[in-house]
Chains A and B, each alone.
Chain A
Amino acid sequence: MIEIEGVRKSFGKLEVLKGIDLAVDKGEVISIIGASGSGKSTMLYCINALEPIDSGRIVVDGVDVHAGDTDVNKLRRNIGMVFQQWNSFPHLTTLENVALAPRIVLGKSRQESTEIARKQLDHVGLADKFDVYPSRMSGGQQQRLAIARALAMEPSYMLFDEVTSALDPELVGEVLDTLRLLSEEGMTMLVVTHEIGFARDVSDRVAYFHEGVIEELGPPAQVIENSTSEQTRRFLANVR
């Protein structure tokens, strides 16, 4: 489980997280919605220690992420992350993209890591692209590759940072379908997204971020359909 307690974080004078509390249970899918600059993405980066925090605590499966003696490299094996810009490694084939980390981080044999890569690429529907370089693939395919790459580490948690925002509209569906598939398989997911429809259909809970705080948190039926918060309603009216 992920426990976030009183997390604050500033970039220079700008405070982007002003005391965030959130507990994510195993198997739960939480969508994080909110305007640009509300701190949603920064929150994700803090969970796997890609960004340091100023105060508060983030504990993942009992490990304090930002404690001085925490091995972040070991911690990150358990927390997959997919980015807005998919960041496929352009010098490696899809198979190599996925197989690299299991081999050099987890120390699996070349054969074993290739087997894992095949399985995960098949999982996200890229079984016909093993030996293709990412530059030959569409944004949607590259984003699914990034998902397969993260899954190959067999993480307990997956963080998705606006994974469809940089995609052409016609490619959004295939990536969201992959996220749906993962949620049906019981993956614990934190999904920062502007896809309100997806948030409503797939999430167990929705968190609405507003200026560095969680303005509202609850089941989609509450936050998206029957929000009591003026802020949330105004935001939803604007994105829909």
Chain B
Amino acid sequence: MDYTFHWRPVFRKLPDLLEAGLVTMEVAVLAMLVGVVLGLALAIIRMSGLKSITWFAVGWIELARNTPALLQLFFFGFGLGAFGIHLSPFLIVLFGLSFNNAGYLAETFRGGFNAVPPTQVKAARSLGMTPTQAYTRIVIPQVMRVVYHPMTNQMVWSVLMSSLAMLVGYRELAGETQFLASKTYRIFEFFLVTAVIYYVMVKLILAGSRLLSWRLFRY
């Protein structure tokens, strides 16, 4: 192997990479928040059993889960672009990731609600609780516990998936790495360091999630 490593160009640009890491976190967290709201809405629509609207939720969930995330991103970029709707790279990534997150989370939430026996609601109502009290005090806390770990996984997935953003021209961590690597030709070194940064970010998310779960779920 006659490849000579040159780390100096990478370390010189480390602040840029870390800053790009923050951009990654930002877009991943935003896409997660939007995904949670939309995913909850999709789950409720799907569980409603109203034929006139369930097709919409089912279609979304099917597409999000069974097509490559990259193509979903391309849809919001090149796809909409073909119809004259030109979104900024940031919005393409945010919409694409949110679309994907929402599809997966919808099924997570649906599973969570199905995991709480309907008799829990009956028991709560038999004590005189209103439907709202039964849901907020009894059902939702139990759903939270069921969906917590799948949600953590989705957050991790959201971070890793955001690296696809470099293919629609967004300068998050992967995009920035690509940009800097092509300027210096230290491609291997740059992507190795970036891999470490991703790894650390994911580990931080997992550690934070674990700490929070100890605090939240004591049963």
Which residues from chain A sit less than 8 Å from chain B, CB to CB? 48, 50, 73-74, 76-77, 79-81, 83, 85, 87, 89-92, 100-101, 104-106, 133-135, 146, 149-150, 153
Complex: chain B residue closest to A85, CB-CB: B119
Asked if B142 is an interface residue, CB under 8 A from chain A, the answer is yes
Asked if B49 is an interface residue, CB under 8 A from chain A, the answer is no
**Selected contact of A89 from candidates B120, B122, B145, B217, CB within 8 Å:** B120
Chain B residues whose CB sits within 8 angstroms of the CB of A74 once the complex forms: 128
Contact A104 B119 (CB under 8 A): no
Complex: chain A residue closest to B126, CB-CB: A81
Bound form: Cα–Cα A63–B135 in Å: 27
**Selected contact of A76 from candidates B117, B125, B217, CB within 8 Å:** B125
**Selected contact of B219 from candidates A50, A85, A91, A153, CB within 8 Å:** A91
- Known contacts A83-B123, A87-B120, A91-B219; decide if A76 and B128 are in contact (CB<8 Å): yes
Complex: chain B residue closest to A79, CB-CB: B126
Contact A135 B123 (CB under 8 A): no
Asked if B127 is an interface residue, CB under 8 A from chain A, the answer is yes
Contact A85 B117 (CB under 8 A): yes
Bound form: Cα–Cα A80–B123 in Å: 10
List 28 A–B pairs whose Cβ atoms lie within 8 Å, in order of A's numbering.
Answer: A48-B126, A50-B125, A73-B125, A76-B125, A76-B128, A77-B128, A79-B126, A83-B119, A85-B119, A87-B119, A87-B122, A89-B120, A89-B124, A89-B138, A90-B142, A91-B141, A91-B219, A92-B219, A101-B127, A101-B129, A104-B129, A104-B137, A134-B219, A135-B219, A146-B123, A149-B127, A150-B126, A153-B128
The B95-145 residues at the A interface (CB cut-off 8 A) are: 117, 119-120, 122-130, 133, 137-138, 141-142, 145
Bound form: Cα–Cα A90–B122 in Å: 15
Chain A residues whose CB sits within 8 angstroms of the CB of B51 once the complex forms: none
Taking the nearest CB of chain A, how far is it from the CB of B51, in angstroms? 20
Asked if B218 is an interface residue, CB under 8 A from chain A, the answer is yes
Contact B133 A104 (CB under 8 A): yes
Complex: chain B residue closest to A74, CB-CB: B128
Chain A residues whose CB sits within 8 angstroms of the CB of B117 once the complex forms: 85, 87
Chain B residues whose CB sits within 8 angstroms of the CB of A106 once the complex forms: 128
| Interface bracket on B | 20 to 34
CB-based closest 7 A-B pairs: A87-B123, A101-B127, A133-B219, A81-B126, A77-B128, A105-B128, A76-B128
Contact A153 B119 (CB under 8 A): no
- Known contacts A83-B122, A85-B117, A85-B119; decide if A90 and B128 are in contact (CB<8 Å): no
- Known contacts A89-B120, A133-B218; decide if A101 and B128 are in contact (CB<8 Å): yes
Complex: chain B residue closest to A51, CB-CB: B122
Bound form: Cα–Cα A1–B94 in Å: 62
Chain B residues whose CB sits within 8 angstroms of the CB of A89 once the complex forms: 120, 123-124, 138
Contact B128 A50 (CB under 8 A): no
Bound form: Cα–Cα A133–B145 in Å: 15
Chain B residues whose CB sits within 8 angstroms of the CB of A91 once the complex forms: 141-142, 145, 217, 219
Contact A76 B133 (CB under 8 A): no
Bound form: Cα–Cα A158–B217 in Å: 32
Bound form: Cα–Cα A89–B137 in Å: 10
Taking the nearest CB of chain B, how far is it from the CB of A157, in angstroms? 12
Bound form: Cα–Cα A100–B129 in Å: 10
Bound form: Cα–Cα A149–B138 in Å: 14
Bound form: Cα–Cα A104–B137 in Å: 10
Taking the nearest CB of chain B, how far is it from the CB of A183, in angstroms? 20
Complex: chain A residue closest to B138, CB-CB: A89
Chain B residues whose CB sits within 8 angstroms of the CB of A92 once the complex forms: 219
**Selected contact of A153 from candidates B127, B130, B142, B218, CB within 8 Å:** B127
**Selected contact of A73 from candidates B119, B130, B141, CB within 8 Å:** B130
Chain B residues whose CB sits within 8 angstroms of the CB of A105 once the complex forms: 127-129, 133
Bound form: Cα–Cα A50–B118 in Å: 12
